[in-house]
Amino acid sequence: MALPEKLILVCQSFRLGKEPKGICHKGTDGLLQYIEEGILDRGLDVQVATTGCLKQCEKGPVLVIQPDNLWFKGVNSEEAIDAILDGLESGEPAAEYLLS
Ligand code: FES
């Protein structure tokens, strides 16, 4: 099986040890499924994976596209996912969600 062109990392707030869980997982129920469907609808060659806390909690929920190293903030709605995937498709990252 060929490797995907891109990888979307979605923070799910996991932390090691006894640290409290981060915040990205809150309010994002169903968005992983929505991302997968959006990728299929657009015919993108992208794999989705979940991660532990990416240490940007105050700007979460956080999503990262690699290998472009594009970090997005406030990804807590279908509108945000649509904007980010549209940007991935067009090559113009969704500026309103870029984390800088
Ligand atoms: S919980 Fe997502 S960046 Fe910390």
Report the chain (100 residues): mean pLDDT per 10 consecutive residues: 95 87 84 96 97 94 97 96 98 96
CATH C-level class of 6-97: alpha beta
Q: What's residue 20's pLDDT?
A: 78
| pLDDT score recorded for residue 26 | 85
Q: Please tell me the predicted confidence (pLDDT) of residue 11.
A: 94
Rounding to the nearest 10 degrees, give the CA dihedral for residues 45, 82, 31, 88: 30
pTM: 0.93
- C-beta of 47 in contact with ligand 1 (< 6 A): no
Query: Is the CB of 13 inside a 6 Å radius of any atom of ligand 1?
Result: yes
Say if ligand 1 is within 6 A of residue 53 CB.
Answer: yes
Cα dist. 62→6, 22, 53, 90 in Å?
Answer: 17, 11, 9, 21
Give the per-residue pLDDT at 61. 96
